[in-house]
Structure 1
Amino acid sequence: MRHLQAVAEFGQYALWETDLDALLHEACSQVAKGLGVPYAKVLEYRPAGDNFLIRAGVGWGPGVVGSVRAPADRGHPPGLAMLTRQPVVTEDVTADPRFTPTALFREYGVVALANVPIVTEAGVFGVLEVVTPRRQSFSGAEVSFLRGFANLIAAVLHRKGVERSLQAALQEREILLRELQHRVKNNLYVVTSLLGLQANRIDDDAARQALMEVQGRVHAIGLAYSILQTSQDISRFDLGAYLADLCRTLVAAATCPVRLDLDLRPAPVSLQVGVPLGLIVNEIVSNSLQHAFGPEGGAVSLSVRRVDERIELTVADDGRGMNPAAGARRGSLGRKLIAALAVQIQGTLTRPEVERGVCYHISFPVPND
């Protein structure tokens, strides 16, 4: 019953503890309690020195665990257990001709002991050992209990190895993804510059304006990648911060004084959602800056907030309102693009009535990608 209880308690502890040293210490504690011995330890094999380091243990005085080393040859019980991958048991190590007692054994008056190897897929990690200062014969059931605990420790070590491999893979993936995002951003900014240069070489006003509009759309996409690069999450960024930067860039290029009013609440989104919304806001604000204001200027407002399981985005200006004639060249394409992008993110697009200017409202489900 003590054996079963020790296994159950260690298994429960191993489910939530992540620190390996704490897990090994708990294993030693449960083994010592299950076998009724005062001392237990885990010896980790160190190939560089061809010896063992006492990695964890219970019952030992200060300066033993984490410091004392033990021989790994056949003349010592842990070494023999590791080399044969079989349990090594002796009722009296001082009278056993196979072994030479170590200084630590002499200091603690060790007489009887039992060792079992801790074998993982990568090889022998080390040895689980229990000792007592009295003559004792360890039964087959007790040795089986000790072997079972060694297997539990091996399973914990395997899990820790898998966790380390996964963490390394995730870190490598994050580095590669950030590098890819950086290159995409740089390429988009190159395209933006080329479009600007080409626009400046065209005499036709309509063609030049069309290229500048494309330049603005490419810039909106590139800005999304730039914001994502500075985000702690490699796959999501804050929508409000992104759209605010986009609007500031657009307003800074306005030919009249324009005030930007922001009401932003945290709303993390992915590129798949953020880029379409950036293009939508780019179309709306660009149209306002071109057609809504006179020389006296005006204001553009942007609001982002989460309401239950939806995100509400509102973009408005206090200009002269929609001019149907202005949509013949640009507005009609812009409105079609806005409507198509809203559908892409499963959003609902409305144009609420306002006393002055134009207002767009988009409501879409909180992304769960």
Structure 2
Amino acid sequence: MIASAGDPALLARQLAVLAELGQQALLGVDPDTLMQKAVALVAETLDVEYCKVLELLPDGDELRLRAGVGWREGSVGRATVGAGTDSQAGYTLIAKEPVIVEAAERETRFELPPLLLEHHVVSGISAVIPGRGRAWGVLGAHTARRRPFAESDGRFVQGVANVIGATVMAARRSDDELAQAENLEAVGRLAGGIAHDFNNLLTVIGGRSDLLLQRLAPDSPGRRDAELIQAASRRAARLTHQLLAFGRRQVLMPKAFDLGVFVAGLEPALRRLLGQGIELVVATAAPAPVRADPGQLEQVVVSLVTNARDAMPGGGRLTLQAAGVEADEALARRHAGLQPGSYAVLTVRDTGSGMDARTQARIFEPFFTTKDHGRGTGLGLAMVYGIVRQSGGGIGVDSAPGRGTTFSIYLPLAEAGAGRAPDVPGAGTVVPGAATILLVEDDDEVRALTRETLTRGGYRVLEAPDAEAALRVAAGGGEAIHQLLTEVVLPGLNGPQLAERVAALRPAARVLFVSGYTDQTLEPGAAFLTKPFEPDELLRRVRALLAS
């Protein structure tokens, strides 16, 4: 049975497959074994008869069938297809996104190669397998039945292709640390690959349960069920945010601040977190200006301090130190992604139980934990890794059993003269609730929930499913538009690009960005709301922005 586009069960299965393959990659499974497992899982998950891995040959003119399911006996290892752009595989090699074919007879971008025609293929998806310096190959899923595929299916295939590519590249390297970093990157990409869909689903589930609770009487027999749904939605949202942090797909709101002053400001909260048995020492040296997202950096510090506390059940000392440092070539080589240069470094040093080399090699893997069952998700340090890397920095760990652990967080120094983020520009106060809002959201269910929430708040809502439609509304003249409420990730123009064009048409309109998954960094001072959000939270943010 073919699942419908956006089906939560299908999306959950896709995420599980990506997680399974990512775990296999981290364990160092050889590429051929992983490829064969991948094509079998993709074919089963998408309910298609054929799936294949094509390897681009050294001459760049052909691709050979390296692994597959469903093909005629003897095809794997022998069959080839052309790499020219007149074939689907060749076209995929230069495409910037997965290539979806719904009906072969109507396809005008390229022709299907003999391999697909011989198997009567009608529909399918293909995605490039990344390599070092050039594409390594193509992953394709095909069927002899005419059927549509959703964009989320394309992201799923691309996520699997990323894991295959990282595995192949890792197998070619002798440097174990570099291979581990590459594998973490692959798992990060797959973690963020379909989170956009999950956050939209959680927005609808949580939002609808919230609206339902507002309508139910306190003694209603259905109220407890609605509360349980809402609570489960919130727990799922927290896990998704941690995965997005690891995958470096969160929206960052960077500001310039001094790292030492920032850490000192957290000291009272950290003392409460540690409790009575652990001595906390906070040391700051010369000024260490950085440009980072303070909210995300606070999560980094809290996660590291929590881990340190758990490593010292009998008490001990925890030292946090902020300083400046010059990273030379030797230091940069020891930290993935770090380049030689000037950095601010935050050191978190505990006197706890420490870790052996094998544990240290895996601590940044998602879902890896040494804690007892039920005491941790295994996402805390994975989240730390992702936030630091997305901020342009690096992270190192030094530990040994019995002598404690030291984490070092390196963040690029801010440019000289960097100041605070500018305030959101205003154009006169608008009375909250007496305003017109242009809503741009590509997910129908999320758009309907958002429209209903805004209407309930007393706003007039103009809506559009994409940037093109939104620009037509903005260019239409007539009534004033007081606020643009837009998803960051949109088909065609993205949210920031749309906001720039709307500003030229409607300069007085405020802008509120919304998203649960993005690789965009918004401009300093931009107003942003994270999905999944609750209806009342949305109304508070809209009112605050209009009244600013």
Same fold, TM exceeding 0.5? no
The interval holding the TM-score normalised by the smaller chain is 0.3 to 0.5
Which structure has more relative contact order (CA 8 Å, sep 6+)? It is 2
| Larger gyration radius, structure 1 or structure 2 | 1
State TM-score, norm by structure 1: 0.42
